[in-house]
Structure 1
Amino acid sequence: MEKLKNLLTLIKNLLKPISSKLAAIQQIESEKSEISSEPAGVFKENKKWEYIIIHHSATSDSRAKDWESIRRYHMSYRFNDKIITKEQYDYYIAIGKSGDLQKPWKDIGYHFGVEYIDGQLKVLEGRSLNESGAHSGIPGDTRFNDHGIGICLVGSYDNKEPNEEQINVLIDLVISLIKKFDISIDKVIGHREVYDLLRKPRMKSCPGSKFNMIDFRRRLHDRIIH
């Protein structure tokens, strides 16, 4: 019961209109061509969420706070998945290597993270739930960013399954969101399943080849009806 109260408080906090954050976002929007590679949009109250999309970070969990490293990465200039400086970014643009470049995002791409910190599994705040994510878009199609709550399980699950504690914490979080936003269980999906819904070849295994989304949805169903 205490865990559920904590999750509901966390969700409520992410729905608060924070004036300083909104002002920063508005400033970024006004300078978007120079700063952010995210599509125009979408900061509004009472946002309509239709999906919950599960991810993994595809990195090892060092048991430190990797969540902040992910945030720093998302908010930096990047080339070939590595952080670079603004000067390096300008250099690559000048020599025509724009295809592998990314500008900083306004915040971490996910709305929630789940990570071990000092041996304890924590649910961590990401970007506001009043704001679109940056976790499941493909070129020309942002619907799953605009209407999907992104949750990232820190770690790599291509070669091993998430442990029982991780699954249970995810289930608690997802059920809280399902009830808060009236989302159906069949719209709780893994990142890789976005491609199925778009009728495109899967480009990712996320949230990991060993993360069984069918079983996860079954367990959600069993928990909700009981």
Structure 2
Amino acid sequence: MQAVLKEAFELEANEVIDTEKLRALSITPHDILYLLSNDEVKEVRDSMGLSKRGNPRFAILESFANATDKLIENYDALARRDINALREAGADVIEADIGVKFEEVTKAIFELLELNIDEDLRKDLNTTKDKADIVISLSDNDIIIGEAKTCKNGDFAKYSTTSRQVKAYVTRAENQGKRVAQVLIIAPSFSDDFIESAEMDTEVNISLLEAHGLKLILDAYKSKRNPSFAPKLLTKGGLLKAELIAKNL
């Protein structure tokens, strides 16, 4: 399978292909499935324990979509790395994959809010050492850089480490002529010290958004007949008031 992907997408023979690489190249499950023969697709379907009725490619893609939907519905549990709650909800995720899944689902939520997730720019900005989780393009030059952080016990409190990360991303973006309108950090909750440090940081503009708050915003957005979500709502700074944002969509 690795050889097939490398040939199809013109990758170097010695490149390591993993979830991060595929995401950076905007290669989706849909793209991969249509590289496989019908027999190979059926083998994948059978290995996933899916029904043999209907189109096997559609069955696999629907399974991926359903898995994402379940993780969105249980977004706060995912943020808190609550394996038991996720399993009870039928969202089967192994512990080692939670960080990546939280990042992917956060992007999916922003896309449902019709924000422009710019994977091409993220790929250009990232290095082996510095890898931003999310880049939202507001215009040709203005962007929001997002970080999705899970936390198993208590509030997220690693401000010094996180601020060093995001400031490195901001510097790289600015060196490429981009204006970082805001850094947005999403986590299950934040310690008081983290919130205070973000508000007092004079080097970069930081907004904080709790995971349950982002889900609240999404639910409110989906409930509207003609919803409109302005990205500027994410640039207010400090701990964002998700309830107020949701109320005024």
- Report the TM-score when normalising by structure 1: 0.34
Q: Counting strand residues as a fraction of each chain, which structure ranks higher?
A: 1
Higher Rg: 2
Q: Determine which structure has greater relative contact order: mean sequence separation of CA pairs < 8 Å that are 6+ residues apart, divided by chain length.
A: 1
Q: Counting helix residues as a fraction of each chain, which structure ranks higher?
A: 2
- Report the TM-score when normalising by structure 2: 0.32
